[in-house]
Structure 1
Amino acid sequence: MSRTPARQRPLAIGPLRAFEAVARLSSFRAAADELNLSPSAVSRQVQALEDEIGTALLLRGSRHVELTTDGAELLRATKAAVKKLDDTVRQIRETQGRRVVTVSTFASFASLWLLPRLQDFQRQHPDIDIRVSAQDAMVDLDEGELDLALRHQRKSAPTPGAEWLFDEMLSPVASPALLAQGPALRRVADLARHTLVEDDDERRYDGSLSWRSWLAAQGQPHLQPRRWLYLSYAHQQVQTALAGQALALGRLAMCQQALLRGELVEPFGASARAESPYAYWLLLSAQGRERPEVLQFAAWIREQAQVCRGDMDSLRG
């Protein structure tokens, strides 16, 4: 069996930890106390590390130590690595014996749809912990520790294996206070006297979820509002509408609870709704399909999706 060349061999963690402690504390004795070792043992580990790398990392004085240029460079990398290692070990210890389901979704869906409902699952399954990884970048479910994903994708091109949850409808939404205090909103042309909040990057959805697309479908392709307010995320747009600062083009699945509570209203009613080319999907990872707690969470998601579809129907009525 061939051996790894010395220059490519990975370093042992023990000497790295000893070096990081000495460099951070500027003292062999303080590092020894922190690591529960003797000062001479810490010194030997740092010396072994220097011999392994082939350069001096510390300048040893009678009362303190200083980093060499190479030592300072190594410390920058070591501090981050040791912290990440310690955080991971701490997390493993804290969750040992507990069942954890890790969910990947995008930030707006987590804020507006998943998190407000999550208490129901926790009440039914108090022994299962949920970890929500919210990011807009799509991640590979079979890489890392993800169990399932809740995704927003085109109806015509979902990820293979994805399970449909519900469709998406778009409709102008505003706070009752805005409608009571602002200019009248009796027809679409009246939007010219209001502020509209728009996605900061229309290219993200090819413009299909934009006000401009909706206005064109309503026969007002050239309408310009009093002003535009551009925000990056759907949950920010809904929050702005709730605050009475602008009208949002709401995704009804994500703002339906606010509509049912009367916190938001559709000024033009159901007749102004437009069907989106996107829908919401559930996707299980290979490892998730083998774990009972993940299957329980997926079953709960399906139940919540059914409730959501029912709420959408009630809004139509």
Structure 2
Amino acid sequence: MSTRNRPLSLQSLRAFEAVARRLSFRLAGEELFLTQSAISRQIKGLEEELGAVVFQRDTRQVTLTAAGLTLQRAVQPLLERLDGAVRQIRSAGARPRVAITTFASFATLWLIPRLEAFQRRHPALDIRIAAHDTLHDMDDPDIDMALRYCHPDDAPPGALLLFGEVLAPVVSPWYLERARRGEIAALDQPVDLAGHTLLEVEGLYLGSSPYRSWEHWLAARGLQALQPRSWVHLNYDHQRVQAAQASQGVVLARLPLVADMLARGELVEPFGPAGRDAVPYGYWLILASGAVQRPEVQQLRDWVAEQAAPVRQALGEHAP
């Protein structure tokens, strides 16, 4: 077999991935506990096997060539998946664990406040939550369950709808009381928003974003020309909810995420049910194909579905 037809060595691919990520032979060597010259030899051997140069080197910097970029796009997820599988195998004899991926505001406002109840019921089960707005590949061996927000057409087969999306203005009860006493502008009807600070999403996401903007909510009520006293833009929903709790303005809240706060009186809807907008998106539970049969994953799935039922009831939704 010629050099260019045989499989690439894992060691050289790891050296390549480290250099490509750090753009430094020295830092890659420190990460892999190899000398810089050893890293250089690995890369040279890789380039000979590929028949292509993967790095452009000069005295001050290292950059990826076109071939290097192509290889990096293939190698990086491959190694991440391999390392995840190894971690899963090594932990097979340890305590059972369920790894969840979801977006930050869902974790902060809905999932984490409820987890203590699940842990009391299943004290021997460990939970790992990766909360960020990057969608994980459900084939990733590090992921067992995803809690996602999407349009029904984008939900994969087998996904469980937890509840739909409903948006409405909410404020703190102290803020509303001040408005009723005349200490700040009135807040009795949507047109009164002109006298208040509106808490808006910074960098609205594609897809569902138009529905979650104040612009859309106001236009639906014939108030597209309304301008508030001021705007405060925040990146995440949980930040906007926290600002509303601190009486810093009015937030167009995702009611499924604040249903408990509304029930406890920590937030209130100044316009009542008339201020609510149902939108064609929902919150879905998705299981990784390799995790479906594991009893601990089924336990968490059933518990999440159980927790979702009161939210659906609060929103006036029927069971899926």
TM-score under structure 2 length normalisation: 0.71
Q: Which amino acid counterpart does residue 225 of structure 1 have in structure 2?
A: P
Please tell me whether residue 226 in structure 1 is matched to residue 225 in structure 2. Answer: no
Deviations 1:133-177 (A, max 9, x none): 112122221233211111111134423321111111111001122
Following superposition, the deviation at residue 10 of structure 1 comes to 3.1
Deviates further, 117-126 or 152-161: 152-161
Verify: 1:307 aligned to 2:310, yes or no. yes
Letter in 1 for 2:270: P
Match of 1:195?
197
State the shift of 1:3 in Å. 6.5
**Partner amino acid, structure 2, of 1:127:** A
Higher radius of gyration, 1 or 2:
1
Alignment partner, residue 133 of structure 1: 130
The reply to whether residue 283 of structure 1 matches residue 286 of structure 2 is: yes
Secondary structure of 1:111's counterpart equals helix
The list of structure 1 runs, each at least 4 consecutive aligned residues, that deviate by more than 4 angstroms after superposition, is 3-9, 46-54, 87-96
Deviation at 1:202, TM superposition (A): 3.2
- Cα deviation 1:228-249 (Å, max 9, x = unaligned): 1111211111111111111100
Name the count of aligned residue pairs.
Answer: 273
Mean alpha-carbon deviation: is it higher for 180-189 or for 297-306?
Answer: 180-189
Kept in 1, the 8 Å contact 2:166–2:279? The answer is yes
Which one of 129, 141, 144 corresponds to residue 144 of structure 1? 141
Q: CA deviation at 1:95?
A: 7.8
- Which secondary structure does the structure 1 equivalent of 2:128 belong to? strand
The CA deviation string for residues 262-283 of structure 1, in whole angstroms up to 9 with x for no partner, is 1111111112111122111111
Q: Specify the alignment match of 2:51 in structure 1.
A: none
- Give the 3 Å change call, closer, same or farther, for CA 292–52 of structure 1 in structure 2: same
CA contact 2:88–2:142 (8 Å) conserved in 1: no
Tell me if structure 1 keeps the 8 A contact 2:88–2:141. Answer: no
1: CA distance, partners of 2:148 / 2:219: 27
Contact 1:187 1:268 in 2 (8 A): yes
Q: Where does residue 236 of structure 1 map in the other structure?
A: 239
What is the aligned partner in structure 1 of residue 158 from structure 2?
A: 161
Decide whether the 8 Å contact of 1:198 with 1:230 is kept in 2: yes
Q: What is the CA–CA distance in structure 1 between the aligned matches of 2:285 and 2:104, rounded to whole Å?
A: 16
**Residue 218 (structure 2) aligns with:** 215
Q: State the distance in 2 between where 1:294 and 1:107 align.
A: 21
Is the Cα contact below 8 Å between 2:199 and 2:233 reproduced in 1? yes
Change (3 A) 1:4 1:146: farther
CA distance in 1, matches of 2:39, 2:247: 65
Paired residues of 1:104 and 1:149 also in contact (CA < 8 A): yes
Question: Which structure 1 residue ranges, 5 or more long, are not aligned?
Answer: 25-34, 36-41, 55-68, 74-83
Instruction: Note if contact 2:170-2:267 (Cα within 8 Å) is conserved in structure 1.
Output: yes
Give, in whole Å, the separation in 2 of the partners of 1:48 and 1:223: 62
1:1-317 alignment runs, 5 A limit: 2=1, 4=3, 10=9, 96-179=93-176, 180=178, 181-204=183-206, 205-313=208-316
Cα distance in 2 for partners of 1:269, 1:163 equals 29
Q: Deviations over 1:18-73 (max 9, x none)?
A: xx9xx86xxxxxxxxxx9xxxxxx99xx989969968xxxxxxxxxxxxxx99x98
Q: 161-170 or 198-207, which moves further after superposition?
A: 198-207
Shift of 1:106: 0.7
User: 1:11–1:254: structure 2 CA closer, same or farther, 3 Å change rule?
Assistant: closer
Residues in 1 aligned to 2:188 and 2:305: alpha-carbon distance in whole angstroms: 38
Q: Return the alpha-carbon distance in structure 2 between the equivalents of residues 153 and 228 of structure 1.
A: 27
Instruction: Give how far 1:312 is off.
Output: 3.3
1: CA distance between counterparts of 2:252 and 2:221? 13
RMSD, aligned α-carbons: 4.0
Deviations 1:73-118 (A, max 9, x none): 8xxxxxxxxxx9xx98899877841111011111110110011111
Partner of 1:230: helix, strand, or coil?
strand
AA in 2 matched with 1:267? P
Q: Which runs of 5+ in 2 are unaligned?
A: 16-25, 46-57, 63-79
- Alignment check: 8 A CA contact 1:208 1:277 kept: no
C-alpha spacing 1:8/1:309, structure 2 compared with 1 (3 Å): closer
1:32 paired residue number:
none
> Percent of counterpart pairs with the same letter?
43
> What amino acid maps onto 1:109 in structure 2?
F
Name the CA distance, whole Å, in 1 between partners of 2:168 and 2:144.
Answer: 33
TM-score (norm 1): 0.72
